[in-house]
Amino acid sequence: MALRSDSLLVKGMGWVAVGLAALYWVVESVMDSYLYGLGSLTSRLLSPDINETMMRLLSISLLLGFGYYARTTIDRLSRTETMARPSLE
């Protein structure tokens, strides 16, 4: 089953990446707060230290970059498949 560029999953690929990035930030904060005892959950969510912030931003950038890459790759594949279809028929 090929993914079409107009399918709901492909159209929402960017939002999936944003959602995963937000989920990552929350999970990381919960781990820091409860697993490692580095402060309250609200302080870890809203104002982590600079090292933690840089690591989270790096991870979030990778998630968003992958979402963009996946979307453009699927779009390009769909366009190529559409262009090649008449020559195959």
Say how far apart CA 52 and CA 29 lie, in whole Å.
Answer: 9
Closest CA to 68 of 13, 7, 22, 24: 13
14, 75 in Cβ contact below 8 A? Answer: no
In the chain, where the domains are located? 15-88
Report the predicted TM-score, pTM, of the whole model to 2 decimal places.
0.70
Within 8 A by CB and 6+ apart from 38, the residues are 32, 44
Say how far apart CA 12 and CA 32 lie, in whole Å: 30
Q: What is the pLDDT along the chain (89 residues), one digit of tens a residue?
A: 455 555 666 667 778 888 888 999 999 999 999 999 989 999 999 988 899 899 999 999 998 888 888 888 888 888 888 887 776 66
